[in-house]
Structure formats: structure tokens, C-alpha cells
Amino acid sequence: MHTLYWFTRDLRLHDNAALLAASKSDMVLCVYVVDPRWFQPGPLQSKAMGDHRWRFLWQSLMALERTLRPLGQRLHIAFGEPESVIPALVQAHGIQRVIRSRQPGTDEARQWQMIKERKPDTLFQQFETLSLFTEGSLPMELGDLPDTFSQFRKLVEKTGERCSERLRIRTLTALPPPPGFPEDNRGSCPPIAEPQHPLRFTGGEEAGLQQLRDFLFVTHAVDTYKETRNALDTWGASSKFSPWLANGSLSVREVADTITEYERSETKNESTYWLWFELLWREYFYWYALKHGVNLFRRDGVQRKRRPATFYGHRFKAWCQGNTEYPLVNAAMNQLRETGYMSNRARQLVASCFVNELELDWRYGAAWFEEQLIDYDVASNYGNWQYLAGVGADPRGLRQFNLEKQAKQYDPLDTFVDRWGGHADQPVGLHTVDAADWPIS
């Protein structure tokens, strides 16, 4: 059987059930499709792919290609719309089966369906490689996924298992040959912009696995994770696994089992549990996105709660450019814009400012994060924004942080604000409204 393996958010050889299934073929064509629509502005004022995320993704693709070559394979990188690229490759190379990892986004689901309709005689298969559990191993039916994370966590932990070892696939060491090497058009992809600040994130499977081992077994920073995780700008304060998890260079099951390994051989405490706890949040939003589909992206959210939504263009621009009346928010937004990353605590604070102080439609903030964050994950990003805006999984409704209090608690000496230029020269006034502002229907 000739198989086309469509790499998406699974850019690795370890713990990859989809690639394992593809390996049971006579020939395998490994493909990654760079969609030109990612780099075009969308209806919410932002692009789907910004410079920082694109740089990290390209590094990950090049790393993947280097790991495939010793196995007699190569990565075919195509620049084009998947709905056209995949059927064309199927036709050109006599492909009988197409395999990919299951995706939680609605655009990804739509593309998959369109491709299937264009090639009705081809076998299409999806495997779950992005999550701790498969749908069949969840302690509930997907349609019965709880409305809150706390309920979900209790059901998962009631089973007494963090992650089933039988779900994890070891690193593949052999693959069938490709049915020829098609000419790709990777040269048409956008150029890679140089970062303004030196970054410690390097894309690729090897780098992700190294970060996992470093955080646990080299620095033992996991021992104090619960106490340090809210730091705004300290590398070792949090795991930093999220960029590699987001594009699948690192398996979440690998992370979960490595935590268990660490607890057995080193120490088990509240901090090691809290790292697992954070993985469960990610897991919850994965299934949450699959359950709720398009409602993940609607203004009124999965709760269908109508919120007043007016778009003030100058406020949105000020937030994006770090030019508000709030130095801590400005510093965090400058850090994001210049590096593609900000801490979890900073994300909550800037999102709270966006929704509450600036009174803006949360979807515009979520779209800006999508463009900027190197660890953008559709389910976690939109799930968290809905949560904070009071239209998602939070039973308490709208969340608002006291920004002054947060600044005193997490940056009492203005170290973070000074480093990232949080003191705006002429901050935009919150309550100024002009003819450029318009209501959102």
C-alpha cells in the first residue's frame, strides 16, 4: 500500500501513533503543507501566523527533515492550500491511503472533509497524537465532557492513572521508502525574520526532549514549580514545554510519563503534581474544542452569554503595541511582540485588561495571540480566552484582575516593566472615543 503521511502538529518520531500506522505500508510519502492563508490578515485584524511562530515552526520542520533522512526518507514541504496540494499528491503518486493526526480546529476539520470528498476512492485515517488520552480511553463520552475543568480533573484522577503506558509509542527507527521524491516549492514560503532579542527556544524534536530532561533531571526546577511558575520573566521558573507541545515536536504523553519517572526516582511533591495538573488543563481544552467546534470561536462562547462588544480601534492598537495606561500590561505585550512568548501569569493579566479595562471583544485578543505566540495552540488559546471572558468553561463567569495589585505582587521593583519598556511615553486614554470606533454585531 502507498501511504501519504500528512505531518501537522506531530513533528516527531517518538510517541507518534499516526506515523506508526503509516509505517506499516510498502511506501510512505511524508508531507507538510504550508498554507499561504496563514500569512494573510484575517477578519479579526491579525494573521494566523506571525514571524516568531513561523521561525520556530521552520526550525522544527528542518529538524524533522534531518531525523527522517537517516531512515531513507525526506520531508516534502509544499506551499499551497491543503485542499489542493494533498489531492494532487495522491493523484501523482498513486496514493491509496492518507494518514494524519486528529486536529481540534474547525478549519482543519473542514479541510480534511474537503480532501476526502475530492478523493472518494482513497482511504483516510486519523489518529490521536496530540492528547494524553484517546477518545476511547476517556473516562466519559466526548458528548458528556464536563462543563468545568474541576469536574473533568476529578473524573480523570478517579481512575488512578495519569497516563496509560500502553498508549505511548516508542521512537520509530525505520520507515518504508517514499514513492519517489516530488519537487517541492518550499522556496515560495515566506522568509524567516531575524529576532530582535536572542531566544532560548529552538524548534525541533531533539530540542523539546532536551528541555524536558533539563527541567526535570538536570536542573530539578520541577521541585519548586508550584512556587515559581507565576514568575514573569525567569527561564527556569516554568517548564517552557509549550512551544514544542504546540507543534508536536514533543509528545504530551512523553511529558506525563517522564514526570512519573521523576517522581519514582527523584522526588514526588506538590510541585511535580502541579506540572501534571497543568497538562490536564491542556488536555481538557483539547477535548473541549472537539466537543464544541465552531462555538469555540463565537463571541458569546459555548455558554451563549451575550456580552457588550464594541471595537475601539485605538484601544486595540495601544494594547498590541504596549501603549496603555498599565505599565505591567505594556511590558508583557512588548515582550510578546518582540519574542513571541510571555508567561502564563502575564497572559491572564493582559487578557483581563483587554476584556475589562479596554472593554474589547475577546476574539480580537485571541487572534492577536494566535499571530504572536510561538506556542499557539488553538484549543488552549481560545479556551482560555473564553474562560477569562466569562463565556466559556469558568463557572464563576467574567474574571477581572486588579492590575495594580498584580504589579505589586509580581513585579514590586519594576524589574520586568523596566526591562521591557512598560512605561509608555504617551499612553492612549481608555475613555477616548472617536469616529474610527464601531460596534460589533
Taking only the tens of pLDDT, the chain with its 441 residues reads: 899 999 999 999 999 999 999 999 999 999 999 999 999 999 998 999 999 999 999 999 999 999 999 999 999 999 999 999 999 999 999 999 999 999 998 999 999 999 999 999 999 999 999 999 999 999 999 999 999 999 999 999 887 666 555 566 788 889 999 988 888 899 999 999 888 887 789 999 999 999 999 999 999 999 999 999 999 999 999 999 999 999 999 999 999 999 999 999 999 999 999 999 999 999 999 999 999 999 999 998 888 877 766 778 899 999 999 999 999 999 999 999 999 999 999 999 999 999 999 999 999 999 999 999 999 999 999 999 999 998 888 777 677 899 999 999 999 999 999 999 999 776 766 655 554 444 443
Closest to 31 measured CA to CA, from 86, 101, 106, 69:
86
Q: Residues annotated as binding site?
A: 225, 238-242, 278-286, 375-377
pTM: 0.94
> What pLDDT score was predicted for residue 432?
58
> What pLDDT score was predicted for residue 305?
78
> What pLDDT score was predicted for residue 437?
47
Alpha carbon separation from 106 to 7, 40, 204, 289, 291 (Å, rounded): 17, 18, 26, 9, 11
> What pLDDT score was predicted for residue 319?
96
Q: Residues annotated as binding site for FAD?
A: 225, 238-242, 278-286, 375-377
> What pLDDT score was predicted for residue 438?
47
**Phi-psi region for residue 339, left (φ > 0), alpha (ψ -120 to 50) or beta?**
alpha
CA separation for the pair 343, 375 (Å, rounded): 11
> What pLDDT score was predicted for residue 366?
97
> What pLDDT score was predicted for residue 80?
97
Residue-wise burial string across 88-108, b where 16 or more C-beta atoms lie within 10 A, e elsewhere: ebbeebebbbbbbbbbbbbeb
Q: Which residue in the block uniquely carries the three cell numbers 505599565?
A: 327
